[in-house]
Structure 1
Amino acid sequence: MDPLTIVLLLLLTIIVIYIIARGIIVIRPWEVGIYIRLGKFVGILRPGVHWVPPFISVVHHMDLRTQVVDVPRQDVITRDNSPVSVDAIVYFRVVDPRKAFFEVTDYRAAIIALAQTTLRSVIGDMELDEILYNRAALNAKLRKILDEATDKWGVRVETVEIREVEPSPRVKKAMEEQTSAERERRAAILRADGEKRAAILKAEGEKTAQILRAEGERMAKILRAEGERLATILRAQGEAQRLRILSLGAASLHSHALTAMSLETLKAMADGKATKIIVPFEVSRLVEALSAYIGKGVREPQIPQVDLEKLVKLIGEPEKILGKIPSYEELSVEVKKAIEEAKKRKPTPTELSREEKELLETLKKEEKT
């Protein structure tokens, strides 16, 4: 074979191999290819190995994964005229490669520009407090607006996140002062609430103490009244016994004895540091009796002694008249028994005094309020 022919065949083989290799297109799993031949859209190349006629065909690779773009920081004036500096992050993915390629020149740059203008308009319609404390609602609103706008580009906006909202220095200083004032207000409320609770507990303690004191005073009055009643009964019994004894003993007294008793009575009345002038009702009879007793100047009529047996027959036996005189032990037992019964007895509400009833009604009204 002619050497020239061999060279031509070898050159032709190299050209064919080059043409075949030039037409091989590899589409990776996360992307698709936009196939254009002679300026006309032919179709979408899916992941895998494809061959297209070289020199007359163009394949543009398009990523289908979720992409992230950073919206540059910008200054925005809120509805309440508060300047803030804000930036955001947009997460999106291509869902229709044909629209993303033919409907917009550069969908990434278009999304960034659209996010900037949308962010400015949305924040301009909100107040600063709403932006700071309602970040989730702001993100949802931005995502909805961007998704509706990019739907004609074949792009779906998945998430929009406001990364940072920074108010101006003057606004930040005012916010710090507001926060400090709010904390001071809460502290004052907590202190007032504590004082209120302390006052309530103190009032309840005073109420309980007053009830206990009133109960104690009532029981003490009951016990004193019971003791005075028993003492009065015992004094009356003793006085009755004394009078009975005097009535029996006076039957056998002589006139001299009566005179001596009168002198003893005068002596007892004159005892003391105060000056006293005693004028008996029967002065002449007393002087006469004294002179007769001391000087024997006047002869007194002799009173015969009383016969005790005749006296007993006349008025009865002394034990029946005087009755049984209780001993000290019997009186002590009776007093102790009365005191124990007074302690055990629980007084009913009807036994309360008017002041105690008013006190209880006042305490009940305070508990209701």
Structure 2
Amino acid sequence: MIVLIIFFVVIAVILVSGIRIVNQTRKYVVERLGAYHATWGVGFHWLIPFVDKVVSVVSLKEQVKDFDPQAVITKDNVTMQIDTIVFFQVTDPKLYAYGVENPINAIESISATTLRNIIGDLELDTSLTSRDIINEKMRLILDDATDKWGIKVNRVEVKNIMPPKDIRESMEKQMRAERERRQTILIAEGEKRAKILEAEGINESIILKAEAEKRQVVLQAEAEAEAIFKLKEAEALGIKLIKEAGADEAVLRIKAFEALAKLADGQSTKIVVPSNLADLAGMVTALTETAKTTKEPTSKK
């Protein structure tokens, strides 16, 4: 009985040890008697002891491999170091398990040779500014080369490009000179703009001053014209009032004497007195008639 119990216990342990549970992100490649048998997906599986064997457990997640810097030579014979990152994913576990001995090393070797070929056709300046082109070319070449290994290359990125030290120093000097040139241009443009604005301000000031003087002269002329018009209007009104009052020759002579008296009170040093004061009165009468004649046509208008 003890031997029988031990026998059943051993059989049970062997059967339990053959149980395999595959999770969502993995695939099991199984051989039976040394030959490929099946690829197990997610779920419960039983491995026949001493007959079946799991030869490879493959992850279906996207994997990232950062390769060491590679020495490459450009078309213009400049040696520099470039390191790349490859993003890939296993699409066929069977091909991945049987396609190549070490898939990661194989991808690294192909990546290095492909990078040397691409950079060898580019000059230094072009290679420094053409990362997207380099990435796309490498992705296409690597994806085509690894397809028979069950690998899909999703993306390739050039992580860093390191030219020689003397080239880097020369590039830094060139960039510094370019920045100084741009700074000088910006300062010159700023000074030019400031002078233009100053000249425009002076010009506008002169124009505004001239317009102000012009308006002042016009207003002054209008004021003088208005004063003359009011004076003449007052004189005409005075003559009209004298006429309406029926002034006779005696009144006119008195007015003439009054005008002569005012003339004598002035600052003139010489006074010319008419020999015939009656003629002076006649002159005043004639002026009155003339003003009347001038007023009447104006009133008709």
TM range (shorter): 0.5 to 0.7
Asked if residue 246 in structure 1 is aligned to residue 241 in structure 2, the reply is: no
Asked if residue 205 in structure 1 is aligned to residue 201 in structure 2, the reply is: yes
State the Cα deviation string for residues 302-361 of structure 1 (Å, max 9, x = none). xxxxxxxxx234x3428728979xxxxxxxxxxxxxxxxxxxxxxxxxxxxxxxxxxxxx
Q: Distance in 2 between matches of 1:220 and 1:63?
A: 95
Query: Which of 30, 47, 53 is 1:52 aligned to?
Result: 47
What's the counterpart of residue 149 of structure 2? 153
What's the counterpart of residue 187 of structure 2? 191
In 2, are the aligned partners of 1:245 and 1:322 still within 8 Å (CA)? no
TM-score, with length taken from structure 1: 0.57
What's the counterpart of residue 86 of structure 1? 82
State the Cα deviation string for residues 132-190 of structure 1 (Å, max 9, x = none). 44434433333233222222211111222222222211111111111111111111110
State the Cα deviation string for residues 186-213 of structure 1 (Å, max 9, x = none). 1111012112211211221232234345
Query: Which of 24, 46, 51 is 1:29 aligned to?
Result: 24
Q: Distance in 2 between matches of 1:216 and 1:53?
A: 112
Which letter maps to 1:43? Answer: A
Alignment of 1:1-369 (within 5 A): 6=1, 8-10=3-5, 12-60=7-55, 61-212=57-208, 214-215=210-211, 245-246=271-272, 248=274, 251=275, 311-313=276-278, 315-317=279-281, 320=284
Cα gap change, 1:45 to 1:322, in 2 (>3 Å): same
Instruction: Specify the SS of the correspondent of 1:317.
Output: helix
Cα gap change, 1:78 to 1:321, in 2 (>3 Å): farther
Cα gap change, 1:16 to 1:207, in 2 (>3 Å): same
Deviation at 1:14, TM superposition (A): 4.8
Deviates more, 1:212-221 or 1:170-179: 212-221
Q: Distance in 2 between matches of 1:182 and 1:32?
A: 57
Instruction: Specify the SS of the correspondent of 2:196.
Output: helix
State the Cα deviation string for residues 267-294 of structure 1 (Å, max 9, x = none). xxxxxxxxxxxxxxxxxxxxxxxxxxxx
Which letter maps to 1:63? Answer: S
Instruction: Specify the SS of the correspondent of 1:209.
Output: helix
In 2, are the aligned partners of 1:25 and 1:52 still within 8 Å (CA)? yes
Deviation at 1:67, TM superposition (A): 1.7
Deviation at 1:63, TM superposition (A): 1.8
Instruction: Specify the SS of the correspondent of 2:69.
Output: strand
Deviation at 1:16, TM superposition (A): 2.7
Deviation at 1:46, TM superposition (A): 1.6
Deviates more, 1:179-188 or 1:29-38: 29-38
Deviation at 1:30, TM superposition (A): 2.1
Cα gap change, 1:322 to 1:222, in 2 (>3 Å): farther
Deviation at 1:11, TM superposition (A): 5.3
Q: Distance in 1 between matches of 2:174 and 2:100?
A: 48
Q: Distance in 2 between matches of 1:45 and 1:221?
A: 107
Which letter maps to 2:190? Answer: G
Q: Distance in 1 between matches of 2:29 and 2:45?
A: 12
* CA root-mean-square deviation: 3.6
Q: Distance in 1 between matches of 2:67 and 2:176?
A: 33
Which letter maps to 1:312? Answer: L
TM-score, with length taken from structure 2: 0.68
Percentage of pairs with the same residue: 38
Which letter maps to 1:162? Answer: V
Q: Distance in 2 between matches of 1:53 and 1:10?
A: 22
Q: Distance in 2 between matches of 1:29 and 1:221?
A: 98
Instruction: Specify the SS of the correspondent of 2:272.
Output: helix
Instruction: Specify the SS of the correspondent of 1:33.
Output: strand
What's the counterpart of residue 246 of structure 2? none
Gapped runs of 5+ residues in structure 1? 1-5, 230-240, 252-310, 325-369
Larger radius of gyration: 1
State the Cα deviation string for residues 196-235 of structure 1 (Å, max 9, x = none). 21121122123223434544666788799999x9xxxxxx
Number of residue equivalences = 246
Gapped runs of 5+ residues in structure 2? 226-262, 289-301
Which letter maps to 2:93? Answer: P
Q: Distance in 1 between matches of 2:147 and 2:194?
A: 65
